[in-house]
Amino acid sequence: MSDTTRSVDAQRLTLILNDLRLPAIKQTWPDIAARADKEGWPAARFLAALAEHEIAERDRRRIERHLKEAKLPPGKTLDSFAFDAVPMISKAQVMAICAGDGWLEQGANLILFGPPGGGKSHLAAAIGLALIENGWRVLFARTSDLVQKLQVARRELSLEAAIARLDKYHLLILDDLAYVTKDQAETSVLFELISARYEQRSTLITANQPFGEWNRIFPDPAMTLAAVDRLVHHATIFEMNVESYRRRTAIQRQKGAGRPPTYATIKTAGQSSPRDNQTDM
């Protein structure tokens, strides 16, 4: 085959790959083809190598898009979370949760309780990141910020549509629930969001107060009870009653180098992972 014929075939193949929207194959096929020719690959192996590369590149681009839309706080990963400082949190259970299958498909929830600085937001963001890497869609938001956006949507008579747009996220992380002001307008849209996602989509909530103090968030006792009921019906709960890690780290820095601070106690209220509870969800 002449060089001219090879050049024409290559140009034709480029046009075809553009039409088929296969950019990864378009970029890499010459190198893979050269290797296939050198090593004498059969046609099926050559085609499989091209297809595998295209799939891998699509996965990479999808994860990149989902990470951008998730708005996760940077640097919060499972690797950087101090599991050794909180030995009563089962790393194996957290890793099972991060797979996402089972509980996300059934709209189950995660709830993290504990005082400020105890690692709730870090763990929530790290779980969100791991889920994205496993192919799920996640949105991280400060509860007060999201509630304000939903209030604007209500004033514009588009609240239902705004909540429906959140359905594309398999997990919605509502960070710092306690900072929602005890205002009827704010808490009512929050309750509508919780109700809309109930048994449809999963929600992860971090909160400083246990359920018994949620009357500080929801002004109506009946609304408080209904919100708690919907959230805990299918939920794994971590109650992290620990001293502030940030505060202890600052104290250690003032005292000089030493061993990192450790958490005092932790109580895990969820006794099984979402996978273990699949038949109950």
β pairing state of 138-142 and 235-239: unpaired
How far, in Å, CA of 58 to CA of 23, rounded?
A: 9
Question: What CA–CA distance (Å, rounded) separates 238 from 249?
Answer: 23
pLDDT at 264: 35
Strand 109-113 relative to strand 235-239, pairing: parallel
pLDDT band at 155 (very low <50, low <70, confident <90, very high): very high
- The closest alpha carbon to 247, from 261, 258, 259, belongs to 261
Name the nearest CA neighbour of 163 among 126, 128, 190, 135.
190
Computed over every residue of the chain, the mean pLDDT equals 82
Pair type for strands 202-207 and 267-268? unpaired
Angle, helices 43-70/120-133, rounded to nearest 10 degrees: 150
Q: How far apart are CA 140 and CA 254, in angstroms?
A: 33
pLDDT band per the 50, 70, 90 thresholds, residue 119: confident
Averaged over 165-176, what is the pLDDT?
96
255 band by pLDDT with thresholds 50, 70 and 90: low
End-to-end CA distance of the chain: 63
Q: Does residue 268 surpass a pLDDT of 90?
A: no
Q: What is the pLDDT of residues 62-110, one digit of tens each?
A: 999 999 999 999 999 999 998 877 777 888 899 999 988 889 999 999 9
pTM of the model: 0.75
Provide, rounded to the nearest whole percent, the portion of the chain with pLDDT above 70: 81
Q: How far apart are CA 228 and CA 245, in angstroms?
A: 28
Q: Is the pLDDT of residue 272 over 80?
A: no
Rg (the chain; Cα; Å): 25
SS3 138: strand
DSSP 225: H
Tell whether the model's pLDDT for residue 44 goes beyond 60: yes
On the question of pLDDT at 38 being above 80, the answer is: yes
Predicted pLDDT at 3: 63
Q: Residue 86: its pLDDT value, please?
A: 72
pLDDT tens for each residue of 190-239: 999 999 999 999 999 999 887 877 877 777 788 888 989 999 989 999 88
Predicted confidence at residue 249, as pLDDT, reads 55
Choose which CATH entry (1.20.120.1200, 3.40.50.880, 3.30.420.40, 3.40.50.300) describes domain 71-280. 3.40.50.300
**Domain limits, CATH 3.40.50.300, in the chain:** 71-280
